[in-house]
Amino acid sequence: MIPSITEGITRAKIFVYGVVQGVGFRPFVDRFAQENHLTGWVLNSSSGVEIEVEGEKSDLELFIKGFAQAAPPLSLITHMEVSYLPPIGHTSFIIKKSIIKKNNFTLISPDVAVCRECLEELYDPHNRRYHYPFINCTNCGPRYTIIKDIPYDRQNTTMEKFTMCSACAKEYSDTNNRRFHAQPIACWDCGPKIWLEDLEKKIKVTDPIKRVNELLAQGKIIAIKGLGGFHLVCDGQNEKAVQNLREKKIREEKPFALMVKNLQDIQTFCFVSKEEEASLSSPKSPIVLLKKKNPSLIAPSVAPKSRHFGVMLPYTPLHSLIMEGHFALVMTSGNISHEPIVISNKEAGQKLKGIADFFLFHNRKIYTRSDDSVVFVNQGKESLLRRSRGYCPLPIHLSFPCSEILACGAELKNTICLSREKNAFVSQYIGDLENLETFRFFEHTVKKMKRVLKVNPQIIAYDMHPDYFSTKFAKEAPGFTRRIPVQHHHAHIAGCMAENNLSGKVIGISWDGTGYGPDDCVWGGEFLIADYSSFERIAHFCYLPLPGGHMAIKEPYRMALVYLMEAFGDKVLKQKIAFFHQIDKKTIWAIQETITKRINSPLTSSAGRLFESVAAIVGLRNKNSYEGQSAIELEYLASLGQEQKKEVLYPYLIRVINKKSEQREFEQSFTYEIDVIPMIRQIVMDVQNGLPSPIMAYRFHYTMAMICLDICMKIRKSRKINTVALSGGVFQNRLLTSLLLEKFNHEHFNCFIHQRVPANDGGISLGQLVIANAKTGNTL
């Protein structure tokens, strides 16, 4: 609430919080104050922007009322504090030097796609930055990836070593210039440079970008240093080049992302809705999953057996210059399989030399790596698959105060989360914590975020799985007074609740591939009654063995064999199932023995494994070359079957069983168990009767949606809970989620899904944090 203003000359002290540094906020304040005939000053501090203005009451009122509406487009004001003081006779308005206040912090802007004004200058032959690949201003350019500390001043970024020339310094100091206090400001004379190298030495060319375009046209693979790391790049229309990249990167079938020059070119090979266009063109500039058009000029190997292309527009001036010579380029993360994206020139030369033919380097250091974010639009709203560049480090605003907590995330698609006051800061995508390099990135992210957020958490939260790298880190890291384990699926639901500002108990449906259960089983098909502090497991799919553990994830036919053995017993191998003839019989027999004798076959209730099993049974895929591949392809198949408009329900059973609670986490007198073996028998009958696989795939999706509705109707009747939260990797399935939203809406449930953090394990850290906060009982 803004206090009333006294008559006559008045002085106001204003503190502005939010994303107000690195977005042209101080020059805006300077101009806006002078437009309103006010004197005083503005400065950056560790907590945000501080302003002191003095003038007539009417002018001051106009300034304060119009302040938020007129602020720069990239700014995000979370709140303001205004107080009034006696006038002291300011004679002009000035911008003061930044000040550092101990333990204060301000929100940091994410990296921002190149703006329209900079692009116009980039292609203006009369502009001194003509074709300069690092052109930027206060409205665009690098932010989070170059920041080492706050406040956001040049000496706290990796631009520190580049001394401004007189022309840049003049722009930097001119309050009426678009580059006033633009920290990464640079030009040909004083800024970062690019150069081209082959596998042996630097290539002497006057125009490296022109040469790169020639090499790409010849089918070469180029490692290009970008904003948050290196990309491996080749011509997206050259099938031979794309296949060569797949072979060298050992990436058999997982789709590659494409960069395309403009929206009009994208529309020639993809369907683009208004909402998808908005995502593509936003300052965040993520990769957007778009439905393919057929036929297409894109090489078939870019996204084989996928309904979608992942497409982005050029988001740096360097990309824009490179795209001038091409229709579509493959832009995939520059890394060795399972390792983080490469960010240094030296590391790129060492690790990517077996993949890239040439390297386009520059000498602006990347302090923090950041992959391209990936989104899709469902039901007209953007949802995240990978939250990174363009989105981080903006916080998720909570509806309650939070202790300072570090949440360590999961093993796969790891992110961390730190809290301060009512803000939860989910990190950029870190990756799968399966090797030392990724773990080092994890540690770097923890240290940087603690430093820039000015927090020193005493509480650490982690996944219950004892063997996760993140769990081991949490148990061993010094300086924490409390260590809180959090169940994986509870964290999924709590994360969905937090981003939707839900309170009280919800019905949480958490479906994914793997999550450690308190009963030492592999959970993954869970219905929970949950709030932030506790959960009750009210329903789940029947436990079945997971033969070979992690091998069953890579080879879905293994779990399919389990379902078939349950359905047909000794007659299982007499069923006409394709993979019985595609997999060596001795292998099948060996797996049967491990199932029967429970050798390396933990029990699982995973919904993710069920989707993959059905994919194997209908003859779609026996093995995955990347995580979730068969389930993704089953969704595509089902989308074809959806066009038949036949909503036939497969049979299933719901049993009520009494069960004593052995976990302190939850208490229940009974649990619903979902038995899908009748469905498996019917699917096998459909296979043997020659029913088209798209129809079977759609019926399966429809049945899974109806199982959710059936269970939730039972819970609502008995427990009077009408709010549903969906979380877990399975709900990245757009068809399933759309069916569920439709069914829940028809039955008047309030159903919530993820939009600001991923439904997959990338959102786990947020859930861990809010659960740990609830368990401590601490408030600010």
- Bridge-partner residues for 233, per DSSP? 222, 331
Averaged over 494-521, what is the pLDDT?
96
Question: What sections of 387-535 are H helices per DSSP?
Answer: 436-453, 469-476, 488-499
Averaged over 31-46, what is the pLDDT?
91
97 pLDDT band (50/70/90 cuts)? confident
Tokens coding 131 = 């074709």
> What type of residue is 387?
R
552 pLDDT band (50/70/90 cuts)? very high
pLDDT at 660: 52
What does R_g of the chain's alpha carbons equal in angstroms? Answer: 28
Averaged over 37-43, what is the pLDDT?
94
Cis omega (within 30 of 0) for bond into 72: no
Tokens coding 715 = 């819970």
5 pLDDT band (50/70/90 cuts)? low
Averaged over 171-189, what is the pLDDT?
92
- Bridge-partner residues for 506, per DSSP? 530
Pair 253, 266: CB distance under 8 Å: no
pTM as predicted: 0.92
Instruction: State the Cα–Cα distance between residues 712 and 704, nearest whole angstrom.
Output: 13
686-726: per-residue pLDDT in tens? 999 999 999 999 999 999 999 999 999 999 999 999 999 99
Average pLDDT, the chain: 93
pLDDT at 645: 62
79 pLDDT band (50/70/90 cuts)? confident
pLDDT at 1: 47
Select the more confidently predicted residue: 320 or 421: 320
Query: Three-class SS of residue 776?
Result: helix
550 Cβ contact partners less than 8 Å away, ≥ 6 residues apart: none
Sheet holding 202-203, edge to edge: 202-203, 194-197, 358-362, 222-225, 230-235, 328-333, 257-260, 308-312, 287-291, 374-378, 381-386
pLDDT at 656: 92
Instruction: State the Cα–Cα distance between residues 513 and 296, nearest whole angstrom.
Output: 33
Strands 76-85 and 9-19 come out as antiparallel
336 pLDDT band (50/70/90 cuts)? confident
558-595: per-residue pLDDT in tens? 999 999 999 999 999 999 999 999 999 999 999 999 99
Averaged over 353-371, what is the pLDDT?
96
pLDDT at 74: 83
780 pLDDT band (50/70/90 cuts)? very low
Instruction: State the Cα–Cα distance between residues 82 and 17, nearest whole angstrom.
Output: 12
Averaged over 650-673, what is the pLDDT?
72
- Long-range contacts of the stretch 278-281 (C-beta < 8 A, 24+): 279/375, 279/377, 279/382, 280/311, 280/312, 280/313, 281/313
CA–chain centroid gap for 136, Å, is 25
Work out the percent of the chain whose per-residue pLDDT is above 90: 83
Averaged over 452-473, what is the pLDDT?
94
CA dist 448 → 43, 59, 367, 444, 640 (Å): 24, 42, 10, 6, 46
Tokens coding 105 = 């912090």
Task: Tell whether the model's pLDDT for residue 666 goes beyond 50.
Answer: no
Instruction: State the Cα–Cα distance between residues 459 and 767, nearest whole angstrom.
Output: 15
| Phi, psi (degrees; rounded to nearest 5) at 290 | -125, 140
Vertex 17 angle, CA 14 and 20, to 5°: 100
pLDDT at 199: 86
pLDDT at 668: 47
Task: Tell whether the model's pLDDT for residue 361 goes beyond 60.
Answer: yes
Work out the percent of the chain whose per-residue pLDDT is above 70: 97
Instruction: State the Cα–Cα distance between residues 128 and 145, nearest whole angstrom.
Output: 26
Query: Three-class SS of residue 351?
Result: helix
Averaged over 349-362, what is the pLDDT?
96
pLDDT at 665: 46
Task: Tell whether the model's pLDDT for residue 219 goes beyond 90.
Answer: yes
Instruction: State the Cα–Cα distance between residues 158 and 139, nearest whole angstrom.
Output: 19
pLDDT at 664: 44
| Phi, psi (degrees; rounded to nearest 5) at 447 | -65, -45
Q: What is the dihedral of CA 156, 160, 163, 165, to 10 degrees?
A: -60
Tokens coding 306 = 């996928």
Averaged over 300-310, what is the pLDDT?
94
**Beta strand spans in 86-145 (E):** 93-95
